[in-house]
């Protein structure tokens, strides 16, 4: 089990709290996903068609996505054949390894592109109800803690109460909110916000936008315009375009990532509401099928439950039980 050893070493250097956050936030996923996998190994001693079918179902039930699952299963079948694995117990570490490989695919840049001595503009996009405004509140809190000067732009001028919602967050965190009236042109709000952020010498400008379904062409065009206005004022901005995805979303998440990616050059994904569901699997699908890195994960409702995504921590959070078992086995 050298793979788990390596993983353990990788994360021991990091603070205990981060590890605990991931472990806690992923407990639901772990219980259902890894728990089921353990049962599977117990129930099927042999690695056969039925075993793989059952495994396929476990993965699909975690919203890993049909395509990713099919690829993964094919991979595992090959592996089982070449390594001549016949016992279910022996294939378990291979499964964990493959999943971890998917998560750690490449040394992707998960850190935000923050400008050292000039304004950094971060644009938040996504469909309705995924938690864009809440995420902005949490991000603002995070930056504020880091001693940054933060300004928020109330770019959701459409949904009733959206501006007020951002204002409440502004008060809570203690940062300014640039707004216009409900119903005004979001691009105009952005223009104002960029000017205000510049004149206040702000470090970070977080831009809220109205939620929109990705198949509404007009609304996607509007979003492009919002982005254009920002770029016109600051040529290399927005420095980050973060797509907010709801972890309870099914296969439509892929369609969202693709369409928003095309319209606004999404640079990273924020996965929210991961704590309440057993569906951490969508992270696997995103990593497998898209080139957009996951940058943040929402692991709880508290202000600091928005965590920078770390593949190692995520894998550890998923396999914490397996890891402990392995350690026990080694000690005996």
Partner 1 sequence: MAFEGLAERLQGTISKLRGKGKVTETDVKEMMREVRLALLEADVNFKVVKQFISTVKERAIGQEVLKSLTPGQQVIKVVNEELTNLMGGEQSKIAVASKPPTVVMMVGLQGAGKTTTTGKLANHLRKKHNRNPLMVAADIYRPAAIKQLETLGKQLNMPVFSMGDQVSPVEIAKNAMEKAKEDHHDYVLIDTAGRLHVDEELMNELEEIKELTSPDEILLVVDAMTGQDAVNVAESFNERLGITGVVLTKLDGDTRGGAALSIKAVTDTPIKFAGMGEKIDALEAFHPERMASRILGMGDVLTLIEKAQTNVDEEKAKELERKMRSNELTFDDFLEQLEQVKSMGPLDELLNMMPGAGKMKGMKNIQVDDKQLGHIEAIVKSMTKAEKEDPSILNASRRRRIAKGSGTTIQEVNRLIKQFGEMKKMMKQMAGMQGKGKKKGGFKLPFM
Q: Cα(270)–Cα(185) distance, rounded to whole angstroms? A: 26
Task: Tell me if 77 sits within 8 A of 86, measured CB to CB.
Answer: no
* Interface residue with partner 1, options 78, 195, 252, 302 (CB under 8 A): 252
Residue (237 or 244) nearer to partner 1, CB: 244
Which region among 93-101, 222-230, 272-280, 304-312 touches partner 1 (by CB under 8 A)?
Answer: 272-280
Task: Tell me if 36 sits within 8 A of 58, measured CB to CB.
Answer: yes
* Interface residue with partner 1, options 28, 198, 200, 225 (CB under 8 A): 28
Beta strands in 99-218 (DSSP E): 120-125, 150-153, 176-178, 204-207
Q: Cα(170)–Cα(183) distance, rounded to whole angstroms? A: 20
Q: Is 255 in the site for partner 1 (CB under 8 A)?
A: yes
Beta strands 176-178 and 240-246 are unpaired
Q: Is 43 in the site for partner 1 (CB under 8 A)?
A: no
* Interface residue with partner 1, options 17, 195, 201, 251 (CB under 8 A): 251
Q: Is 61 in the site for partner 1 (CB under 8 A)?
A: yes
Does 238 sit behind a cis peptide bond, omega within 30 degrees of 0 on the bond before it?
A: yes
Q: Is 157 in the site for partner 1 (CB under 8 A)?
A: no
Q: Is 128 in the site for partner 1 (CB under 8 A)?
A: yes
Per DSSP, the residues of 194-242 read HHHHHHTT-SEEEE------TT-HHHHHHHHHHHHHHHHHSTT--SEEE
What is the C-alpha radius of gyration for the chain, rounded to an integer number of angstroms? 22
Residue (141 or 279) nearer to partner 1, CB: 279
**Residue 201 Rama label (left phi>0; alpha psi -120 to 50; beta):** left
Task: Tell me if 4 sits within 8 A of 94, measured CB to CB.
Answer: no
Q: Is 249 in the site for partner 1 (CB under 8 A)?
A: yes
Q: Is 196 in the site for partner 1 (CB under 8 A)?
A: no
Q: Is 180 in the site for partner 1 (CB under 8 A)?
A: no
Estimate the crossing angle of helix 2-12 against helix 311-331, to 10 degrees: 120
Q: Is 174 in the site for partner 1 (CB under 8 A)?
A: no
* Interface residue with partner 1, options 48, 86, 129, 145 (CB under 8 A): 129
Residue (37 or 234) nearer to partner 1, CB: 37
CB of 76 to partner 1, least distance (A): 18
Q: Cα(266)–Cα(270) distance, rounded to whole angstroms? A: 11
Which region among 16-24, 99-107, 108-116, 168-176 touches partner 1 (by CB under 8 A)?
Answer: 168-176
Binding-site residues for GTP, in ranges, read 126-133, 208-212, 272-275
Binding annotation = 126-133, 208-212, 272-275
For partner 1, the binding residues (CB under 8 A) are 28, 57, 60-63, 66-67, 127-131, 137, 158-162, 164-165, 167-169, 172, 182, 213-216, 246, 248-255, 273, 275-279, 282, 289
């Amino acid at each position: 089990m050298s793979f788990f050893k390596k993983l353990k070493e990788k994360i021991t250097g990091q603070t205990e709290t981060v590890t605990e956050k991931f472990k806690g936030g992923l407990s639901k996923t772990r219980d259902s996903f890894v728990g089921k996998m353990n049962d599977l190994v117990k129930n099927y001693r042999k690695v056969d068609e039925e075993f793989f079918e059952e495994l396929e179902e476990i993965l699909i039930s975690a919203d890993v996505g049909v395509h990713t699952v099919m690829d993964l299963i094919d991979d595992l079948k090959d592996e089982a054949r070449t390594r001549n694995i016949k016992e279910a117990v022996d294939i378990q570490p291979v499964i964990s390894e493959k999943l971890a490989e998917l998560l750690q695919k490449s040394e992707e840049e998960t850190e935000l592109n923050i400008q050292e001595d000039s304004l950094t503009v971060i644009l938040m996009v996504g469909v309705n109800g995924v938690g864009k405004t809440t995420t902005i509140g949490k991000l603002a809190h995070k930056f504020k803690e880091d001693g940054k000067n933060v300004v928020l732009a109330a770019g959701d001028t459409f949904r009733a109460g959206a501006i007020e919602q951002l204002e409440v967050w502004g008060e809570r965190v203690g940062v300014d909110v640039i707004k216009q009236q409900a119903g005004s042109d979001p691009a105009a709000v952005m223009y104002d916000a960029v000017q205000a952020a510049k004149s206040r010498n702000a470090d970070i400008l977080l831009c809220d936008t109205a939620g929109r379904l990705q198949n509404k062409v007009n609304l996607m065009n509007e979003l492009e315009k919002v982005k254009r206005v920002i770029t016109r004022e600051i040529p290399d901005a927005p420095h980050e375009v973060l797509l907010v995805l709801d972890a309870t979303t099914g296969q439509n998440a892929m369609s969202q990532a693709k369409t928003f990616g095309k319209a606004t050059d999404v640079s990273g994904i924020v996965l929210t509401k991961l704590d309440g569901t057993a569906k951490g699997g969508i992270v696997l699908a995103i990593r497998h099928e898209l080139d957009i890195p996951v940058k943040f994960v929402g692991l709880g409702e508290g202000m600091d439950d928005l965590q920078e995504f770390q593949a190692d921590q995520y894998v550890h959070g998923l396999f914490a039980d397996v890891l402990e078992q392995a350690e026990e086995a080694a000690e005996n």
